[in-house]
Amino acid sequence: MIAVIRGTGSYIPPRVVENEELKNYIETSDTWIRERTGIERRHVVTDDTVASMAAKAGRAALENAGIQAESLELIIVSTTSPTQMIPCNACLVQKELGAVNASCFDLNAACSGFVTAYQTACAYIESGLYQKILVIGSEALSCITDWSDRGTCILFGDGAGAVVLAAEKGKKQESVCGADGSMGDALTLYSGYLSNPFGTPVQEEAVADGRKNAFVRMDGQAIFRFAVRKVPQIIEELLQKNNLQKEEIKYYILHQANTRIVEAVAKRTGQPIGKFPMNVQEYGNTSSASVPILLDELCRGGKVRTGDRLVIAGFGGGLTWAASVVTWR
């Protein structure tokens, strides 16, 4: 058996922050942000949490798939900005949706997280363990952003996207997934104030460092260079593994980090920019939510038809990367 996408859904919080509004917090301009990132505005949470957005996106995907929550056997939530650690966000979604028969766990692979969760779900279905899985990417990045750091706060936004996967007969498709931990310092977020009463001065220093860095810190240029070099390579590798030509792919759905990254990848891949849909201008960089939000927009806009082949690709903190071929049914 293989996994096919039966339905998609997304949820975007209603509060919009235009580039102009960021001038209240940092020295910047709408022109700089548009020219360097393509971003015009982003949406941010006011009342929502990672779990509430995930549940709303998940419910929309279930409705789109025509599948009852009770028939789900697994829920995976990818997030890098969890509002809470325990219960995991997938358990909170299970409760909200009444998906009483589903196992649950969260997964964190930063901006590669949704595609990694998708690959994990496919492996479960291919192994025969599960038939129906809900995979969600949900992020409240505005809550882990340092609003006085103009190198990061202009980039991020909040939202959630989801897909329902179901088992069907078909030919298995290969994926690509990897990491380079040696470059991890380029994008960090310390989650903890973790210490115990036995700590050494070294540990205390690390804790103090952790407090100071309880926001996303990023070497933007290093990540940019990594993405522009790595993503065309993994697309090449993915297509080779699946015996596919670039022309056979209808859309390349990349993590929405920055329009300049997407444009550079399109150029290096030698495919027309029209095959690389973008919505970063509206939502900013929503980390692991960006791929499923874009997928949902394409699906609901009638842009994908049965038989279409898509590439989905994530890249980012870790450093990590993941790419898969999706054949639309």
Catalytic residues: 111, 255, 285
Number of residues in the chain? 329
* Member of 61, 75, 154, 160 binding ligand UT7 (CB under 6 A): 154
The total of other beta-carbon atoms located within 10 Å of residue 173's CB is 18
**Residue at shortest CB range from ligand UT7:** 220
Residue 328, token pair as written in the block: 């639309």
Distance, CA of 89 to CA of 107 (rounded, Å): 10
Distance separating the N- and C-terminal Cα atoms of the chain: 14
What's the Cα-to-Cα distance from 219 to each of 157, 216, 223, 224, 263, rounded to whole Å? Answer: 18, 10, 6, 9, 20
Contact pattern for ligand UT7 over residues 245 through 264, marking x by CB under 6 A: ------------xx------
Please name which of 93, 80, 104 lies closest in space to residue 51, comparing C-alpha atoms: 93
Q: Which is nearer to ligand UT7, 124 or 215 (CB)?
A: 215
- Separation of alpha carbons 30 and 23, rounded Å: 9
Q: How far is the CB of 257 from ligand UT7 (least distance, A)?
A: 3
Applying CB under 6 A, does 311 fall inside the site for ligand UT7?
Answer: no
Among 77, 90, 111, 291, binds ligand UT7 (CB under 6 A): 111
Residue 5, interface with ligand UT7 (CB under 6 A)? no
Residue pair 146/14 in contact (Cβ under 8 Å)? The answer is no
Give the amino acid at 225. R
R_g of the chain, CA atoms, integer Å = 19
77 touches ligand UT7 (CB under 6 A) = no
- By rule CB under 6 A, what count of residues binds ligand UT7? 21
| Residue placing its CB nearer to ligand UT7 in the complex, 217 or 309 | 217
319 binds ligand UT7 (CB under 6 A): no
Q: Please tell me whether residue 220 binds ligand UT7 under the rule CB under 6 A.
A: yes
Nearer Cβ to ligand UT7 (60/177): 177
Minimum distance, C-beta of residue 173 to ligand UT7, in the bound complex (Å)? 25
Please name the residue that has the structure tokens 């115990």. Answer: 196
Q: Can you tell me which of 11, 130, 224, 252 binds ligand UT7, judged by CB under 6 A?
A: 224
Q: How far apart, in whole angstroms, are the C-alpha atoms of residue 266 and residue 246?
A: 11
| Residue 210 binds ligand UT7 (CB under 6 A) | no
Beta bridge partners of 253: 312
Question: CB-wise, 3 or 261, nearer to ligand UT7?
Answer: 261
User: Which residue in the set 19, 173, 259, 285 belongs to the binding site for ligand UT7 (CB under 6 A)?
Assistant: 285
DSSP secondary structure, 216-230, as one string? -EE-HHHHHHHHHHH
37 in contact with ligand UT7 (CB under 6 A): yes
| Beta carbon nearer to ligand UT7, 161 or 316 | 316
The pair phi, psi for residue 272, each rounded to 5°, is -60, 145
Encode 237-263: b = buried (16+ Cβ within 10 Å), e = exposed.
Answer: ebbeebeeeeeebbbbbbbbbbbebbe
Contact between 112 and ligand UT7 by CB under 6 A: the answer reads: no
Of 28-36, 59-67, 244-252, 299-307, the window that binds ligand UT7 (rule: CB under 6 A) is: 28-36
The sheet carrying 175-179 orders its strands as 175-179, 320-327, 309-316, 251-254
36 is a contact residue toward ligand UT7 (CB under 6 A): yes
Instruction: Point out which residues bind ligand UT7 (CB under 6 A).
Output: 28, 32, 36-37, 111, 150-151, 154-155, 187, 218, 220-221, 223-224, 227, 257-258, 285, 287, 316
